[in-house]
Amino acid sequence: MSGRRGVIDKRVTNAAALAVIWVCALTTVAFLGSLLLYVVINGIRELTPAFIFTWPHGVNMEGGIWPTIQSTIYVTVLAMVIVTPVAVLAAVYLAEYAVQGRLVRTIRFAADSLAAVPSIVMGLFGMALFVEGMGLQFSTLAGALALSFLMLPIVMRTTEEAIRAVPKYIRWGSYGLGASKWQTVSRIVLPAASPRILTGLLLAMGRAAGETAVVIYTMGTMIAAPVSPLDPGRTMPVHVMLMAMEGINLKAAYGTALLLVIMVLAFNLTARYIVRRNRRMQG
């Protein structure tokens, strides 16, 4: 009889556990879904070509948001250009050259810690170092440099994983033909790892494009369409914050937020697409 009860208990607990797991899983999806829905409902009417391609005007920032789009794309791409060589070469060093030991563990720990630094702190430090220390003023370059520190650990760690994921026997093939280590790394390993490296870059760019605190203190908040890297600007998330915080123009805030979500989503979906296509090609 106790055996029977045991069976029933097992079924009950199993069902209960399953229910809880389901609810938790569903909460994640429901939260994302309602967030997107909310932003879409509030922002969709604003998304007109005029909103995207014209400048804001008047005290309430009526009209479009073009300069904030230009600022966002400019600073994000510039940050990517700065971070890619540094992060990739650092990852090559960690994965291929460094003797695995205390130094490597320390570097990795530093990268992980860098990723955990609150972005407001990163912004203040960026202001001290780039804006004031290096005399860059509030500028796209200062913003990009600060953002590159935000991106560095993400890109470095994904690149390191990507390099480690390249099968040993492919490297052996190269060494077996009389290739040196650098020839093998640069001609075989990095190209083979490149789809995953690109994925990491896109995810980091998504992070950077949506960042507020870091850019406020380095790129400023002035509405401008930067052309030279030394021009200041106001990125989309900063625009959203300012429009919403002071209740200047909530409609514009939602419209900008929706466009920002679409852009970041595009980064993420492109990253996923690259991974999938690559898996198909190699599988």
Partner 1 sequence: MSEKLAEHLAGAPSGSSQPDKFAVRKLEFYYGDFHALTDITVGIQRHAVTAFIGPSGCGKSTFLRTLNRMNDLIPGTRVEGSVMLDRQDVYAAGIDPVDLRRRVGMIFQQPNPFPMSIYENVAYGPKLHGVKKKADLDEVVEKSLQRANLWKEVKDILGRGGLTLSGGQQQRLCIARVLAVEPEVLLMDEPCSAIDPTSVQKVEDLMAELKDRITIVIVTHNMQQAARVSDYTAFFLQEKVNEAAELIEFDRTATLFTSPKDRRTEDYITGRFG
* Cα separation, 94 vs 102, whole angstroms: 12
Region binding partner 1 by CB under 8 A among candidate stretches 7-15, 59-67, 129-137, 168-176: 168-176
**Binders in 187-216 for partner 1, by CB under 8 A:** 187-188, 191-192
**Could you tell me which of 91, 101, 234, 213 has the C-alpha nearest to residue 150?**
213
List the one residue from 169, 228, 245, 247 that touches partner 1 (CB under 8 A): 169
- For residue 178, which amino acid is it? G
Residue 174 or 221 having the CB closest to partner 1: 174
Is residue 170 close enough to count as binding partner 1 by CB under 8 A? yes
CB of 132 to partner 1, least distance (A): 47
Is residue 38 close enough to count as binding partner 1 by CB under 8 A? no
First-to-final CA distance of the chain: 53
Is residue 176 close enough to count as binding partner 1 by CB under 8 A? yes
Q: Is 245 left (phi over 0), alpha (psi -120 to 50) or beta?
A: alpha
Is residue 247 close enough to count as binding partner 1 by CB under 8 A? no
Query: Is 193:162 a contact under the CB 8 Å cutoff?
Result: yes
Is residue 102 close enough to count as binding partner 1 by CB under 8 A? no
> Which residues, 6 or more positions from 49, have their beta carbon under 8 angstroms from its beta carbon?
none
Is residue 45 close enough to count as binding partner 1 by CB under 8 A? no
**Could you tell me which of 261, 225, 224 has the C-alpha nearest to residue 240?**
261
Is residue 228 close enough to count as binding partner 1 by CB under 8 A? no
List the one residue from 58, 85, 118, 178 that touches partner 1 (CB under 8 A): 178
CB of 174 to partner 1, least distance (A): 7
Is residue 93 close enough to count as binding partner 1 by CB under 8 A? no
CA atoms within 13 A of residue 175's CA, in its CB half-sphere: 8
Is residue 172 close enough to count as binding partner 1 by CB under 8 A? yes
Neighbours of 39 (CB within 10 A): 18
- Enumerate binding residues for partner 1 (CB under 8 A): 167, 169-170, 172-180, 183, 187-188, 191-192, 281-282
